[in-house]
């Protein structure tokens, strides 16, 4: 007796998501590799006069306040989602446990690179 063979299933949502993720990774690697050919130029000039200190203090304060607001919004959305959906709770709580075990300084390189890419020629970056 021959084994029963089922016809292949059409591509599902997970297949499409994995394909998009793979395409994004390849595009990111290509874009990152192109940066190696560009000449390095220091774009930011730091003003060393004492009169510029309040401006730089406000830059730093604005980054801190922005980070605080973003963290509040993220925490409330994360908690609300975990509280309202049982499936989301099963996913989000273990993820939160894993991310809490990583030291804060482990996230710093990604943060610095992200800010530098968002604000390449500004003092905000």
Q: Is the Cβ–Cβ distance between 125 and 116 less than 8 Å?
A: yes
Q: What are phi and psi of 14, to 5 degrees?
A: -65, -40
SS3 8: coil
For 18-28, the pLDDT digits (tens) are: 889 899 888 88
Within its chain, how far is the Cα of 83 from the centroid? 24
The pLDDT of residue 4 is: 73
Quote the mean pLDDT of the chain. Answer: 83
Q: Is the Cβ–Cβ distance between 92 and 81 less than 8 Å?
A: yes
Tell me if the pTM is above 0.75. Answer: no
The pLDDT of residue 75 is: 94
Evaluate if residue 82 carries a pLDDT over 90.
Answer: yes
The percentage of residues in the chain with a pLDDT greater than 90, rounded to a whole number, is 34
Task: Compute and round to an integer the Cα radius of gyration of the chain.
Answer: 23
Bigger pLDDT: 44 or 23?
A: 23
């Amino acid at each position: 007796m021959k084994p029963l063979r089922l016809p292949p299933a059409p591509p599902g949502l997970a297949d499409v998501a994995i394909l998009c993720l793979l395409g994004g990774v390849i595009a990111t690697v290509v874009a990152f590799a192109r940066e190696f050919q560009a000449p390095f130029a220091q774009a930011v000039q730091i003003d060393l006069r004492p009169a510029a200190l309040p401006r730089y203090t406000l830059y730093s304060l604005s980054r801190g306040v922005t980070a605080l607001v973003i963290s509040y919004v993220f925490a409330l959305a994360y908690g609300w989602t975990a509280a309202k959906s049982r499936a989301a709770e099963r996913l989000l709580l273990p993820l939160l446990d894993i991310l809490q075990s990583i030291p804060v300084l482990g996230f710093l390189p990604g943060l610095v690179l992200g800010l530098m890419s968002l604000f390449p020629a500004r003092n905000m970056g």
